Amino acid sequence: MAAPKFLDIEYCQSDDVLFPTAMAWSLEDGQMKTVVIAPADEWLPEDGDYGDLDLDYLDEQGVPLLELVQELHQDLPDQTVYVDGLDPDEILIDLIFSAMNQEAPFEIAPITELITGLTSDALEDRRRELLFEDSLEPQLPENGVYALLRMAQEEGLFDED
């Protein structure tokens, strides 16, 4: 049985803006990809409040949306991709794909649909525990995906080689 797929998105949110800044997702074999996202121009109002976000860093280091969309089409076609259910992941995915005039090639579902033996509060507590145990920063998307993969592994939801 292949590993379930997971996704986590870091984002910028203020009264003026909401857009993705980084993303991580897992692959069939449990490996993970992580990217910084170059923002689309339409996401950036001229007088928007971006907090302490470094837009120059995103522009210089970020993956162009076209490349990101192509990679997601390649890695997650016709899949159900699970998220922690804490963030506006569906909205952020829609922003990415609508900027390229495309539909996402996958469905997003909360982790509670995959791991049904625990309440959403218990799942969130376990996710936080895993991040704390491994001294991982919770806001980094790769750490979020790592914790979700570990939870699925603990539940016996994929075979290890």
Domain assignment present for 101: yes
**Kind and range of the H or E run holding 109:** strand 106-110
Side by side, which strands form the sheet with 5-13? 32-36, 18-26, 5-13, 79-83, 106-110
Domain assignment present for 160: no
| pLDDT for 149 | 94
| pLDDT for 159 | 62
| pLDDT for 71 | 97
Domain assignment present for 115: yes
Closest by alpha carbon to 80, among 71, 91, 88, 90?
A: 90
Domain assignment present for 135: yes
Domain assignment present for 70: yes
Domain assignment present for 159: no
Domain assignment present for 39: yes
Distance of CA 114 to the CA centre of its chain: 16
Closest by alpha carbon to 12, among 62, 48, 47?
A: 48
Tokens standing for residue 137: 């920063």
Count of structural domains, the chain: 1
Query: pTM (2 decimals)?
Result: 0.92
In CATH, what number is assigned to the domain containing residue 122?
3.30.420.10
User: Phi/psi of residue 61, each to 5°?
Assistant: -100, -15
Domain assignment present for 146: yes
| pLDDT for 113 | 95
Domain that holds residue 130: 5-154
Instruction: Kindly give the parts of the chain with pLDDT less than 70.
Output: 1, 159-161
